[in-house]
Structure 1
Amino acid sequence: MFVLGMDIGYSNLKLAFGDAAEGMPFTVNLPALAAPASMVASTLFSDGGADGNEDGVRVLVNDEPWVAGLSPSAVQRHSRELHEGYVGSPSWTALAHAGMALAGKNKIDLLVVGLPVHHFEEKGHRDRLRTLLKGSHQVSGKRQVEVERVEVVPQPIGAVLDAMQWYSDPAQLEEETILTLDPGYFSTDWAMIQPGLRYAKESSGSSLNAMSRLIETARTKMADDFGMAPSQTQVEDAIRQGRKHLRVFSDTVDLAPYLEKAALSVAAQSLTELRTSIRHVDRAITYLLLSGGGAATYKAAAEEVFPKSEVLISKDPTLANARGFWNFHMALAEEPVK
C-alpha cells in the first residue's frame, strides 16, 4: 500500500510518502507558497521551467500553470493567503498537486491529511477536504494521479503518532496523558491525548496567536531598535533556513533575542488560552509534545506554563505531523481499503 502523509501549512508544505511495507517514509519540506507561473520571477527558470528542484514544482490548477514550493521572494505581485478559506483555494490546490506529484506515483492508496482542531470538529470541513482530495487529479500536463482513499485527522495528532516511532519508551506514551502543541504560521493548535491514545476533543482547540503574529511582534521590536526591520518574509525565511542573523541597513542583527522576547508575549497568550481550555482536566499532563516550525520558539514559554510536564521535541519537528500522518496507516491495517 502506497501512503502519502501531507501537511499543507501556511508556511511549509511537508510530505512523508512511501510503501507501508518498507517501514520508513521519504520526507520533503518546501515553502508553502504557490503562484501562477506568470507571476514567478523568470530568473528562477532555466530551459523553460521548474522541474521539482529548488526552483519549485510546476503543476496545473484548473488547466492554468502554477508553480508551488517557492520562497516568497521569488513571486511578483502575489500575496500569501492567510484566511479561513485557504483550504480549496487555488494556492492550496497547487500545493496539494505538488505533493501528489512529488510522491512519484500515479496511484496513491491512502492520503492522510490534518485539519486545525477547530475545523476538524466540524463534519462539513472534514467531508469537504475528503471530496477535494479523493479521486483523479490532473497535476500536470501529462501526469494524472489517482487518490483511492483519504483520511482526515486533527492536525496535532500527527506529532503523537510520530513520537511513537522515536521516543525511547513508546509503551509509556500510550499509558500517560499527552498534550500536543503545534505552533503553526496561522494558528496554534493543541490536542489532549489520554491513556490508550484516546483523542479528547473537549480538551483540544486552536488559537490565532501563532507564528505569523510572533514574527510581527519581533519585527516591531527590531524597528524600535534600528528604525527599520527586515520584512515578514525575510524573518520567516531565516527561521525556515535556520539562519541566526539578518541585516538591517549596515547592522547585523541577532534574530534569537527578538524571537525570544516576542515569544514571551505571543506564545504566552496562546498557552494561556490553552490552559484555560483544559482547566477542567483533573489528571496530570505527563508529556507536553511540541511540533511544527515554531516548536523551539515556544519551548521556554511552554516550560514556564507547564513546569511539571516533560517537554518533548523531535529532531525535526517541522516534519513531525507529516511523518505521523504517514504512520496513521498502521491504525488502519486491519480495515479494508474503501
Structure 2
Amino acid sequence: MESIVRAVDVGRGNTKFISGIKNGELRCEMFPSQAHPSETGTEPETWGTRRKTVGIPTGGLVYEVGPDVHLAADVFNANVLQHDRYCDTPEYLALLLGALHYMQLDRIDLLVVGLPVATYKLKALVTALERRLTGEHELGKGKRVKVMRTKAIAQPAGALMHYGLMQSKVAQLRKERSLIIDPGRRTFDWLVTQGMQQIEKRSHSVPRGMHDVLQAIVEGISRGTGSHYRDYDTVDAALRTGKKPVVFQTEYDLARHLPLARKIPQQAVAEMMHYVGDASDIRNIILVGGGAFFYRAALKSAFPNHTIHEMKDPIFANVKGFQQAGMELARATATNGASAGVPPQPDIAAGERDE
C-alpha cells in the first residue's frame, strides 16, 4: 500500500495544507491562523448556513479554527503566533489539527510541517515538535487521526523543492547556489543553499513581515481619522487589489502611508544583506510567500544584477514543496527499507548543512 503523505504550513497569517491529490495534482486549501478558545465547544447560532469552523480540543480548552473563524473573533483577541517559539503553543496545535480535520483522513504515514528559519535553528524545539505531532490526535466532532511520523523543515526549503520540480531544474539546482526569500505575515525568511543543502550561517529570519507593513498603515489611518482603526485584513486586501478601502463609509486613499510602509521591506532586505552580501556568488534568487508582491521592489533594488524568479501562487509554494519532499522520502523509504536515509532531492529537509 502506498504511504499517505500530507503537508501543513502553519504560518502567522494563514494555515496552508494539502487537502488531497488528484491525477498527480496537489490540491491546496488554507484558512486564517486564528484559534479562538472556549471552555466548551459551542454551536454557533446563525440565521443561514453554519459557519465553516471546527472545535479542536487541546490543553483543556476547545479552539475554534477554520475558514470562517473571523466570525468567532473577539475584538480583544490577541494573535499569539508572533514569536519564535509559537509552535510550542496550544493555538499552533489547534491550527495544525484543524488542517488535519479538513483532510478527512484517519491515518497519515508521514506529516511534513514547516517552521521559520530562525525557529528551525532551535533544534531541540524542532525535535520536540516532531514528537508532539506524532501519535493519535482528537480532531473534534468525533474524528481522530493517527500520525505515524512527522518531519519539520525550514519553510523556504519547500519553495526550493517546488521550484526545482516545476521548472524541471532539480539536477541543475544541485550544482548551484540559491537564495530563497519568503516574506510571510510575521517573519521575513531567507535560505541560502548549495545544491539542496542549507548554508545555515547565511540563512535566517527577522520579524519584519507583512504584519509590520499593515501595522504602519493601520497606525497611519488611526492618526488620519482620529480613531483606533484595526482592520488589518481590509488593508491587506486593498494593497493586493489596488482598491481603496472603505473607512467610516468613505473610500480612504492609502497613498500617504505607503512611503513609510515601504521602509519595512527595505529594512528586512538590509538585514538579509548582512548575511548574503551582494549575492554575487548566488545563481538563483527565488521569491515566494504571501508578501512577495510588496517586497519585490526592495529586492530588485538590492540585487539589480540578478533576475528574481517568482512562483505562481507563491503563498502555496512552501507547502507544495513540503508535500513533494515528503512523497520522495516515502518512496525512497519504501524502496530501500525503513533504514533508508533521506533521498537526494529532499536533502535540505533533513537539515543537512554546508557551512
**TM-score normalised by the shorter chain: which range applies?**
0.7 to 0.9
Equivalent position of 1:287 in the other structure: 284
Determine which of 73, 76, 86 is the counterpart of 1:75.
Answer: 73
Determine which of 254, 273, 276 is the counterpart of 1:275.
Answer: 273
Residue 67 and residue 128 in structure 1: after superposition, are their counterparts in 2 closer, same or farther (change >3 A)? same
Equivalent position of 2:347 in the other structure: none
Q: 1:182 and 2:182 equivalent?
A: yes
Distance, in Å, in 1 between the alignment partners of 2:312 and 2:237 is 18
Matching of residues 229-268 of structure 1 within 5 Å: 230-235=229-234, 238=237, 244-255=243-254, 257=255, 260-268=258-266
Equivalent position of 2:28 in the other structure: 27
Deviates more, 1:141-150 or 1:221-230: 221-230
Q: 1:324 and 2:321 equivalent?
A: yes
Equivalent position of 2:115 in the other structure: 115
Aligned residues: 329
Distance, in Å, in 2 between the alignment partners of 1:34 and 1:138 is 16
Q: 1:66 and 2:63 equivalent?
A: yes
Q: How much does 1:320 deviate?
A: 1.1
Distance, in Å, in 2 between the alignment partners of 1:156 and 1:62 is 30
Matching of residues 1-338 of structure 1 within 5 Å: 1-18=3-20, 23-37=24-38, 42-43=44-45, 50=51, 55-62=52-59, 64-69=61-66, 70-72=68-70, 74-76=72-74, 77-81=76-80, 82-167=82-167, 169-194=169-194, 196-228=195-227, 230-235=229-234, 238=237, 244-255=243-254, 257=255, 260-279=258-277, 283-332=280-329, 333-335=331-333, 336-337=337-338
User: How large is the Cα RMSD of the aligned pairs?
Assistant: 2.9
The amino acid that maps onto 2:133 is L
Contact 1:222 1:258 in 2 (8 A): no
The amino acid that maps onto 1:154 is A
Deviation string for 1:189-228 (max 9, x for gaps)?
110122x322111110011122111111122333455545
Residue 177 and residue 110 in structure 1: after superposition, are their counterparts in 2 closer, same or farther (change >3 A)? same
Residue 96 and residue 337 in structure 1: after superposition, are their counterparts in 2 closer, same or farther (change >3 A)? farther
SS at match of 2:299: helix
The amino acid that maps onto 1:216 is Q
Deviates more, 1:168-177 or 1:72-81: 168-177
Q: What are the ranges of 5 or more consecutive residues in structure 1 without an aligned counterpart?
A: none
Deviation string for 1:235-268 (max 9, x for gaps)?
466269857331122431355x467534531111
Q: How much does 1:89 deviate?
A: 1.6
Contact 1:263 1:301 in 2 (8 A): no
The percent of aligned pairs where both chains have the same amino acid is: 26
Q: What TM-score does the superposition give when structure 2 sets the normalisation length?
A: 0.82
Contact 1:139 1:145 in 2 (8 A): yes
SS at match of 2:83: coil
The amino acid that maps onto 1:11 is G
Q: What TM-score does the superposition give when structure 1 sets the normalisation length?
A: 0.86
Contact 1:292 1:318 in 2 (8 A): yes
Distance, in Å, in 2 between the alignment partners of 1:316 and 1:58 is 29
Q: How much does 1:23 deviate?
A: 2.8
Q: What are the ranges of 5 or more consecutive residues in structure 2 without an aligned counterpart?
A: 340-355
Residue 143 and residue 320 in structure 1: after superposition, are their counterparts in 2 closer, same or farther (change >3 A)? same
